[in-house]
Amino acid sequence: MAVTPDLADLQATIARMEARFDTDPRAASLMGSYRDLCARFETDLADPRDIAISRAAALMMIKYQLEEN
């Protein structure tokens, strides 16, 4: 049976990842794009959970990119 994290858990994970990547100089340009995407998510999506999931997915792409380089 799958575990579905609640919105508070998602937001806590997002905050931790943002804090980590905001201090990593390798992520600076990616975080700029991420912030632009966050604004877009807020405009395009209505459900706070959908927004959080989208933000988390974008942060995972940054994590992947940093690990690959």
Contact between 47 and 55 under an 8 Å Cβ cutoff? The reply is: no
Q: Where residue 66 falls among pLDDT bands split at 50, 70, 90?
A: very high
In tens, the pLDDT along 48-65 reads 999 999 999 999 999 999
Give this prediction's pTM.
0.90
Q: In angstroms, rounded to a whole number, what is the distance separating the alpha carbons of residues 39 and 44?
A: 9
Cα–Cα distance, 12 to 34 (Å, whole number): 17
For residue 5, the model assigns a pLDDT of 86
pLDDT grade, residue 69 (50/70/90)?
A: confident
What is the number of other CB atoms lying within 10 angstroms of the CB of residue 18?
18
Percentage of the residues of the chain whose pLDDT score is greater than 70: 100
